[in-house]
Amino acid sequence: MASYHAVPPAAPLRSFLECLWLNSVPAGRRDGRILPDGRMDLVWIRGHGVLVAGPQTRHTSRPVEAPLAAFGARFHPGAAPSLLRVPASELLDGHVPLAAIDARLAARLDARLEAARDDREALRGIELELARRIDRLEAPDPAMRAAVGLLRQGSASVAEVARRVFVSERQLHRRFTETVGYGPKTLQRILRFQRAVAELRSERAELAGAAATAGYADQAHLSRESRRLAGLSPRELARWVG
């Protein structure tokens, strides 16, 4: 069976990273669907080097066929571009070799992970290399982080979010496009969809209840978004995440 494990990053990395993770996918696992979640990841797969998984506006496919063991770092929405020095919008819906963006960082990460003796050492290697790079960077834009937090709550409109972080709606959209990869309205949709996915993971979840809890107007609204973002009906999605 596939297995996924995430660990919190060291304190100096927490303003940039949500977690470090490893994912093992056995042979025969055909559906390599990856759902949008508003984040960007660095992903290392042996023999393929380090990839940058850009922000997604829809489901994408796993970049390498199973079997595979991948190690990665997941960034908070909007945090990766300051490290990569490239606008998030240029990486939209793609898996880009890190070597095409930062050859030195890619080489250091690849060397550490190739030499790692076990999973723990591999994750520690990612942490050490990113700490070395992040130590010279300013923390991510606090206004954007606050805006993402407000959008995650699900009740604030984009206009209200802009007002509460003291920027115009136009500025908010521009800064989101640079740091997150798309505008705040798109992120709001994706975060709402992820709330629905979390609800559908519950064995007792009902579609109408999951739709209401996530913030959809009705079950039909969830159905439309599920097909747009995941390429699945809500019932298919519930089986897929279950």
CATH number, position 164 = 1.10.10.60
- Number of other residues whose CB lies within 10 A of the CB of residue 54: 23
CA–CA distance from 108 to each of 10, 48, 130 (Å)?
19, 14, 10
pLDDT at 28 over 90: no
- Reported as a pLDDT band with limits 50, 70 and 90, residue 165 is very high
Give the mean model confidence (pLDDT) for residues 192-207.
87
Encode pLDDT of 168-194 as tens digits: 999 999 999 999 999 999 999 999 999
230 plus 159 within the same structural domain: yes
Ranges 117-126, 135-144, 222-231: which has the least confidence:
135-144
Encode pLDDT of 101-116 as tens digits: 999 999 999 999 999 9
Question: For position 49, what pLDDT does the model report?
Answer: 95
67 plus 94 within the same structural domain: yes
Q: 200, 238 in Cβ contact below 8 A?
A: yes
Question: For position 2, what pLDDT does the model report?
Answer: 66
146 plus 173 within the same structural domain: yes
Question: For position 1, what pLDDT does the model report?
Answer: 55
Question: For position 95, what pLDDT does the model report?
Answer: 96
- Reported as a pLDDT band with limits 50, 70 and 90, residue 123 is very high
Give the mean model confidence (pLDDT) for residues 209-219.
93
Question: For position 32, what pLDDT does the model report?
Answer: 84
pLDDT at 138 over 90: no
Question: For position 36, what pLDDT does the model report?
Answer: 97
Q: 180, 77 in Cβ contact below 8 A?
A: yes
Question: For position 17, what pLDDT does the model report?
Answer: 97
Q: How far apart are CA 94 and CA 113, in angstroms?
A: 23
Q: State which of 113, 134, 155 marks the end of a domain.
A: 134
154 plus 119 within the same structural domain: no
Q: Which residues of 173-192 are buried (b: 16+ CB within 10 A; e: fewer)?
A: bebbbbbbbbbbebbbbbbb
Give the mean model confidence (pLDDT) for residues 19-25.
95
Domain that holds residue 129: 3-134
Q: In sequence order, what E strands does the chain have?
A: 3-7, 17-25, 33-34, 40-45, 49-53, 60-61, 68-75, 95-97
Q: How far apart are CA 46 and CA 25, in angstroms?
A: 13
Bond preceding residue 67 cis, omega within 30 of 0? yes
32 plus 105 within the same structural domain: yes
Provide the number of structural domains found in the chain. 2
Q: State which of 100, 134, 168 marks the end of a domain.
A: 134
pLDDT at 50 over 80: yes
119 plus 149 within the same structural domain: no
Give the mean model confidence (pLDDT) for residues 122-133.
95
- Reported as a pLDDT band with limits 50, 70 and 90, residue 203 is low
pTM for the predicted model, two decimal places:
0.93
DSSP 8-state assignment for residue 166? T
Question: For position 101, what pLDDT does the model report?
Answer: 96
Instruction: Tell me the CB-side half-sphere exposure of residue 154, using CA atoms within 13 A.
Output: 14
Q: 20, 72 in Cβ contact below 8 A?
A: yes
Looking only at the bridges linking them, the beta strands covering 60-61 and 3-7 are unpaired
Give the mean model confidence (pLDDT) for residues 129-138.
90
126 plus 146 within the same structural domain: no
16 plus 100 within the same structural domain: yes
Q: State which of 114, 134, 154 marks the end of a domain.
A: 134
Nearest alpha carbon to residue 184 among 81, 38, 36: 38
Helix (H, G, I), strand (E, B) or coil at 161: helix
Question: For position 162, what pLDDT does the model report?
Answer: 97
- Reported as a pLDDT band with limits 50, 70 and 90, residue 205 is confident
63 plus 87 within the same structural domain: yes
Helix (H, G, I), strand (E, B) or coil at 165: coil
Give the mean model confidence (pLDDT) for residues 117-128.
96
